[in-house]
Amino acid sequence: MKITDIEVFCADFDKSAPNEPIFIKINTDEGISGFGEAGVAYGNAKLGAIGQIQDFSKLIIGEDPLCIEKIWDHLYRDTFWGQGGGTVIFSAISAIDIALWDIKGKALNAPVYELLGGKTRNKIRAYASQIQFGWDADSAPLGGTEEIAAAAKKAVDEGYTAIKVDPIQRDQQGRKISRNDGLLTYDKLKLCRERLLAIRQAVGDDVDIILELHAKTDVNSALQISKLLDDLNIYYMEEACGSLNPQLVKCLKEKINIPLAAGERIYTRYGFKPFLENRLLDIIQPDVATCGGISECKKICDMARIYDVLVQPHICGGPISAAAAIQIEAVIPNFCIHEHHVGNLSQFTRNLGTYDDQPVDGYLTVPNRPGIGQEIPKEIMKKCNIIKVK
């Protein structure tokens, strides 16, 4: 089997959509195709990723798509910038890697999880992510404390046993707060506490609350916030400071009692190495569509297992990256919980996938479809501007 051409396209046909996922389709001479995704569409690197995918695609035309490790190592070691790394480089490698695993699974008529060692679970616990935007198909930023608490309650009423919220991302009018570093003023701390308390009172004691801070806080403000939380039983605190400085995370780890999570902006096993060796994080959050793909994510998860570190893959893109993450989550023993982003409730995002895999009563059933178990419908691809590399 040989790679004949690679199609690169972005779902940017609906300007009102909250996201514009970047997809690829790798085609072969045996008629088997695989889909991948570069997980940078929700930031400001879309065009960079599209260009990088084209550059890397030229290097693998004519290669055997089943030789996944060989191709990954070639893109990493033989392209000069591969070893330099970074978001754009590894999002391109990730997209290619996911598509190659999809091809391999389809060629062998097996889900990718079977090729990774087989399932350790049939159902995957999910949490409702980013409820500061509400919890419905037409999400919008919320400002009122009671509105946010009601959104959390709505998710719990649907069967979720865990929710995630950034309580200081928005002001009381729902406008974005750009900075939360330094020492927070009393009004911000009060708002943070009131929102978390209202959520806890709305959902009860049995529901896990994940505190999201989006790395907009630093050690100073994160320590302030941690003092507000002792009675709220927070499940874990996510991106409490900049994730690229292990010393800062170490400082937090030594001073607070709440489990720490991070990793959506850390790439490859080499990036996670200092955080794991020093056990600075309790939960790592590699994004399959940016950390190096399925191949690299599995290696990262296995490394984490050595240090009793749990894994919650970061999922904030389209249906291809979500499907790839499910393949990993089905296999690894140190899986923690699945992120089901509010954006995945939108009809736009749901229409991007051939299959609409949504949690039921807070759990996803692992699909048994070959490959990653997801594709982009032909009618969606027709709406996109496709760049073909051959």
| 124-174 pLDDT, tens digit each | 999 999 999 999 999 999 999 999 999 999 999 999 999 999 999 999 999
Residue ranges of domains in the chain: 3-109+376-389, 114-365
Distance CA 178, CA 167 (A): 13
Confidence at residue 352, expressed as pLDDT on a 0 to 100 scale = 98
Q: Within 13 Å, how many C-alpha atoms sit on residue 372's CB side?
A: 33
Q: What is the pLDDT of residues 100-116, one digit of tens each?
A: 999 999 999 999 999 99
pLDDT number for residue 368 = 98
- Superfamily name and number for 114-365: Enolase-like C-terminal domain (3.20.20.120)
Instruction: Give the other-Cβ count within 10 Å of 43's Cβ.
Output: 14
Q: Is the separation of the CB atoms in 197 and 145 below 8 Å?
A: no
Number of other CB atoms surrounding residue 186 within 10 Å: 7
Looking at residue 310, what is its pLDDT?
Answer: 99
- pLDDT attached to residue 178: 85
Coil, helix or strand for 158? coil
Task: Express each pLDDT in 259-307 by its tens digit.
Answer: 999 999 999 999 999 999 999 999 999 999 999 999 999 999 999 999 9
Residue 339: what are its φ and ψ, rounded to 5°? Answer: -85, 115
Q: What pLDDT is stored for residue 218 in this prediction?
A: 97
Q: Model pTM greater than 0.85? A: yes
Q: How many CB atoms lie within 10 A of CB 243?
A: 21
**CA distances, 57 to each of 8, 94, 302, 371 (Å):** 9, 12, 28, 20
CA separation, residue 210 to residues 71, 178, 325, 332 (Å): 37, 21, 19, 21
Contacts (Cβ under 8 Å, ≥6 apart) of 237? 211, 213, 222, 226, 256, 258, 259, 260, 261
Which residues, at least 6 apart from 55, have a Cβ–Cβ distance to it below 8 Å? 92
Dihedral sign (CA 374, 158, 335, 257): positive
Q: Which helix (H) or strand (E) holds 27?
A: strand 22-28
User: What was the pLDDT predicted at 42?
Assistant: 84
HSE, CB side, 13 Å, CA atoms: give it for residue 78. 10
Q: What is the DSSP letter of 343?
A: G
* CATH class of the 3-109+376-389 domain in this structure: alpha beta
pLDDT, the chain, mean: 97
**Residue 234 in tokens:** 């927070």
Query: Exposed, middle or buried: residue 247 (CB in 10 Å: 0-12, 13-18, 19+)?
Result: exposed
* pLDDT for position 227: 96
Q: Which stretches of the chain score pLDDT less than 50?
A: none
- Report the C-alpha gap between 97 and 99 in whole angstroms: 5
Asked if 311 and 269 touch (Cβ cutoff 8 Å), the reply is no
Kindly state the percentage of the chain with pLDDT values over 90.
96
Which is nearest to 373 in space by CA: 129, 119, 142? 119
Phi and psi at 179, nearest 5°, equal: -135, 135
